[in-house]
Amino acid sequence: MTAAAVQFDSPKGGFELPLEGLKMALGGANDRLLFFTHPNWPEATIHTADHSILDHPPLAGQRAMAAQVGQLVAAAGEGVVAVPPSA
C-alpha cells in the first residue's frame, strides 16, 4: 500500500488501485478476506486475508476511506459481509 493506492505485485506483473474511489468489502468463508475493487477497473479485484491493512495510515487519513474502514469493522462484528458504496 502506498499513500495513494493499494498495490498488487506478483512474478507475472502487478497493478494498483487508487485509493480515491476504492471500494472495500469483507467476503469469503467467515469474512476472512478483505476485497478491494475500483469502478475504473471493474475486472480487477485485489484480496487479502491480512485485515491489519485497515490500520494503515493512508486508509485512516482519507475521509471516505476512514468511513469505509469504520463500516467494515462494524460489519465484521455484526456478521454483515458487504460495505455499501460511499457517497
Tens of pLDDT, residues 16-69: 899 889 998 888 888 889 899 999 999 988 888 988 888 888 877 777 787 888
Which among 25, 7, 26, 9 is positioned nearest to 17, based on CA atoms? 7
**d(C-alpha 60, C-alpha 68), whole Å:** 9
pTM exceeds 0.75 for this model: no
C-alpha cell at 41: 477497473
